């Protein structure tokens, strides 16, 4: 059976390509389309077409047969590509154009269709710019000592029992075993916390990887051998868990609705947990593997591509079978991806990443956005894109004013 040629697949391929994680088969599939046009027009049109189809009613299409036909035609027209090094760089640049240019960002108005772009005088209102967040975090050791990671030197930060804590370059903290763990005393717990405008990555004692988004925290034991593998998280985190059938990995999600009442149990998998207290639900999105979601007494199993949406009071959980995984993990890959989000939801994400406070003048309940942009843009550049929806923004220090 051929691969499903969907918007989600193209987004996943582009993300994996930009991270350098594509298999040769995936690269061939992506580059076969990119090679048809040096400007990458076909790929851009495919992304836009399938984004539109995911948000509007459309007739049933046999995409397996369609892709097989396309690939047969491609095989007739194009020999299996042998890609010189310069072509790899050219292809990367062409894919980057899709994201940097912001061509896949749209705004709609409920019940009103497309909102025409408006020309707004930007000078003055956005002159007091705000730079994007970066690798910022505080590590709190078992004795209560706090280490500001963004100002600490790279290298060893000390020992926690038999675990050496090492700060690497590019916002990465690792725990490396040295010798045997002490069998005396209570387990040691560390916590890494990111502020607004911060993000960080940590490699846990068992080799599992965790990415923390802004305004998030992760509490974990420094020795998984004695305590099992259980951590506590607040805010948002992406996990890549090392498989260990004898020791399931458990994530207790801390929210104002009930600390630890929501728990994710996995053996080995990749998933995202979003549990900000200013959002209206807890979301657990499964990328691969399988996880068990516990909300109080209820249990739900997730399959790849599914998302559990739980009420903050942990009284109910809804499973989305065909979730927008790319949107859920976009932050981890360095960009915003809005899937029919309200203006308020968009601004909450921007407020956390740019460390600003937001106030509103007028009603904006009819604004709906989808599409994406990079997270390394200055805030003024983000607002210039968003202002095409007819909304105005002003930056006054660390305060943003949104005007209809």
Q: What digits encode the pLDDT tens for the residues 203-259?
A: 999 999 999 999 999 999 998 876 679 999 999 999 999 998 888 899 999 876 555
* Cα of 36 vs its chain's centroid, Å: 30
Closest by Cα among 340, 335, 338, 375 to 354:
375
CB-CB contact of 28 with 80 (8 Å)? yes
Residue 313 has pLDDT above 70, yes or no: no
CATH 2.60.120.1440 fits 134-328, yes or no: yes
Residue 35 has pLDDT above 90, yes or no: no
- Name the β-bridge partners of 357: 399
Round to whole Å and give the CA distance between 256 and 297: 18
As to burial, measured by CB atoms within 10 angstroms (0-12 exposed, 13-18 middle, 19+ buried), residue 164 is middle
Give the long-range contacts of residues 116-121, CB within 8 A, separation 24 or more. 116/390, 117/388, 118/387, 118/388, 118/390, 120/387, 120/392
Mean pLDDT of the chain: 76
Q: Is there a contact between 352 and 346 (Cβ–Cβ < 8 Å)?
A: no
Say what percent of the chain tops pLDDT 90: 42
Report whether pLDDT(319) > 60: yes
Contact between 192 and 173 (Cβ < 8 Å): yes
360: β partners: 402
Helices (H) and strands (E) in the chain — how many of each? 9, 26
Split at pLDDT 50, 70, 90, the class of 56 is very low
Question: pTM, whole model, 2 decimals?
Answer: 0.73
Looking at domain 113-130+334-403, which of 2.30.110.10, 3.55.50.30, 3.30.70.60, 3.40.50.2020 is its CATH number? 3.55.50.30
pLDDT at 186: 76
CA pair distance 312, 258, nearest whole angstrom: 8
CA distance 103 to 302: 33
Q: Kindly state the average pLDDT of the residues 274-293.
A: 92
Query: Residue 350 corresponds to which tokens in the numbers above?
Result: 């921007």
Domain boundaries, the chain: 7-103, 113-130+334-403, 134-328
**Most confident range, picked from 17-21, 81-85, 328-332:** 328-332
**Residue 1 burial by CB count (10 A; 0-12/13-18/19+): exposed, middle or buried?**
exposed
pLDDT at 27: 63
What is the per-residue pLDDT across 62-99, written as a single tens digit (0 to 9) for each? 434 444 444 444 444 444 333 333 333 334 433 443 33
Residues 6 or more apart whose CB falls under 8 angstroms from that of 47 comprise 7, 10, 11, 14, 98, 104
């Amino acid at each position: 059976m051929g691969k499903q040629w969907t918007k989600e697949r193209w987004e996943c391929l582009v993300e994996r390509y930009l991270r350098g994680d594509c298999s040769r088969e995936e690269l061939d599939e992506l580059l076969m389309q990119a090679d048809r046009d040096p400007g990458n027009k076909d790929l851009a049109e495919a992304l836009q077409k399938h984004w539109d189809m995911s948000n509007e009613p459309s007739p049933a299409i046999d995409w397996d047969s369609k892709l097989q036909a396309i690939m047969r035609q491609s095989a007739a027209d194009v020999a299996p590509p042998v890609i010189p090094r310069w072509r790899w760089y050219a292809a990367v640049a062409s894919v980057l154009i899709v994201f940097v240019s912001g061509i896949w960002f749209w705004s709609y108005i409920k019940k009103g269709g497309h909102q025409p772009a408006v020309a707004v005088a930007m000078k003055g209102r956005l002159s007091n710019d705000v730079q994007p967040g970066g690798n910022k975090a505080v590590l709190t050791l078992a004795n209560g000592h706090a280490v500001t990671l963004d100002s600490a030197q790279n290298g060893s930060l000390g020992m926690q029992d038999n675990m050496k804590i090492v700060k690497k370059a590019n916002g990465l903290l690792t725990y490396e075993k040295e010798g045997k763990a002490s069998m005396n005393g209570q387990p040691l717990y560390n916590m890494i916390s990111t502020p607004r405008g911060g993000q960080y990555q940590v490699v846990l004692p068992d080799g599992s990887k965790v990415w923390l988004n802004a305004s998030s925290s992760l509490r974990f034991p420094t020795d998984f051998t004695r305590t099992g593998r259980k951590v506590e998280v607040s805010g948002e985190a992406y996990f890549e868990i090392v498989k260990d059938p004898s020791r399931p990995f458990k994530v207790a999600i801390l929210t104002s609705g009930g600390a630890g009442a929501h728990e994710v149990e996995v053996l080995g998998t990749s998933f995202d947990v979003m549990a900000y207290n200013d959002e209206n639900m807890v979301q657990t999105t499964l990328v691969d593997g399988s996880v068990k979601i516990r909300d109080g007494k209820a249990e739900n199993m997730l399959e790849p591509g599914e998302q559990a949406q739980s009420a903050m009071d942990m009284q109910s959980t809804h499973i989305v079978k065909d979730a927008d995984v790319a949107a859920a993990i976009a932050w981890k890959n360095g960009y915003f991806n809005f899937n029919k989000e309200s203006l308020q939801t968009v601004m909450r994400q921007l407020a956390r990443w740019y460390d600003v406070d937001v106030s509103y003048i007028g009603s904006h309940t009819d604004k709906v956005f989808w599409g994406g942009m990079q997270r390394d843009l200055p805030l003024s550049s983000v607002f210039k894109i968003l202002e095409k929806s007819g909304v105005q923004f002003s930056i006054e220090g660390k305060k943003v004013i949104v005007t209809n």
